[in-house]
Every structure is written in C-alpha cells, then in structure tokens.
C-alpha cells in the first residue's frame, strides 16, 4: 500500500542567516526494521531515521549544521508532512 503522501519532504532552515533546504524521503517509506532494531533506544532510532531519510549527502550535511534544539522540530514536521508517525500503521489509524 502506498504512503499517504508519497513525495519527499523539503524542510527549510536558516543557519547563520543563510536559508538552506534539507530533502528527506517520505517518512511513510521508513523500513520497519529501523524502528524494530532500535525500539529500546529512541535517540539512536532518531539518528538512524535521519541517516536513512536524507536524500543526498548534501542534505545530511545541512542537517549536521542544525542546532540540536532544532532537531526535534524537523523530525516532527517530517512526520506530519508524510502524515505518518513512528508506531502508526494504516490499520491503527482507522
């Protein structure tokens, strides 16, 4: 079954006064194994998801420049844009 919103997510951030974009694969395409393998370590799972989701090395490099205080907001916005959150499945949302 296709993800609810199958397009990539583009997040715009401002770093040191410069607008930059991070392109992330649709969160609905996350392989379940990433969540399963890291289910006991939320922080590790978050970083694995970011590494999986970055479309290019350049996107990952922009992410690496983010202040740590911005990481959660990017992660939440990414999930919201894909209309899927960690732990949600099509059957649980109906």
Please give the tally of structural domains in the chain. 1
d(CA 35, CA 87): 8
Query: What does pLDDT average to in each consecutive run of 10 residues of the chain (94 residues)?
Result: 67 94 94 92 90 95 93 92 70 43
Residue 5: per-residue pLDDT: 56
For residue 73, the enclosing domain spans 9-82
Compute how many other C-beta atoms are within 10 angstroms of the C-beta atom of residue 73.
12
Residue 89 lies in a domain: no
What is the pLDDT at residue 84? 82
Residue 2 lies in a domain: no
Q: Does 66 reside within a domain?
A: yes
Predicted pLDDT at 12: 95
Whether residue 70 lies inside any domain: the answer is: yes
Determine the pLDDT at residue 90.
46
Examine residue 1 and state whether it is found in any structural domain, yes or no.
Answer: no
pLDDT of residue 40: 94
The reported pLDDT for the residue numbered 6 is 67
5-32 burial, b if ≥16 CB within 10 A, otherwise e? eeeebebebeeeeeebebebbbbbebee
Q: Is 91 domain-assigned?
A: no
Measured distance CA(58)–CA(42) in Å, rounded: 25
């Amino acid at each position: 079954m296709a993800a609810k919103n199958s397009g990539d997510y583009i997040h715009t951030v401002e770093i040191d006064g410069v607008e930059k974009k991070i392109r992330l694969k649709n969160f609905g395409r996350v392989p379940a194994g990433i969540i399963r393998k890291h289910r006991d370590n939320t922080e590790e799972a978050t970083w694995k998801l970011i590494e999986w989701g970055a479309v290019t090395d350049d996107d990952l490099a922009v992410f690496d420049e983010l202040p740590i205080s911005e990481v959660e907001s990017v992660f939440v916005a990414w999930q919201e844009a894909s209309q899927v959150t960690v732990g949600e499945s099509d059957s649980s949302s109906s």
